[in-house]
Amino acid sequence: MRKFTIEERATRLAHYIIETKDTVRSTAKKFGVSKSTVHKDVSDRLLKINPILAKEVREILDENKAERHIRGGMATKLKYLREKQL
């Protein structure tokens, strides 16, 4: 498997996030890089490479950030439901 340049990686990460509306954490896991790398690539580097793509990704990341308290609450709810069933 060939290595990608930083610019290629940033673009691939951006397209993946736009297509799947995935979070930074799950994107990092899928691509085998750190959350910091994903965030740096799509927030900083992508602005210089492709500002239009960067704007699209920023909208999704902002949406994910706004919803994270809901996801956390649901995860906690499911955790206690599973414990109760045992």
31-49 residue pLDDT tens: 999 999 999 999 999 999 9
Please check whether residue 43 is in contact with residue 15, taking contact to mean a CB–CB distance below 8 angstroms.
Answer: no
Per-domain boundaries in the chain: 6-85
The percent of residues above 90 in pLDDT, for the chain, comes to 71
- This prediction's pTM: 0.79
State the DSSP H helix or E strand holding residue 12, giving kind and residue range, or none if neither: helix 6-20
pLDDT value for 1: 56
The type of residue at 44 is D
Exposure pattern of 44-67 as b/e (b: 16+ CB <10 Å)?
Answer: ebbeeebeebbebbbebbeebeee
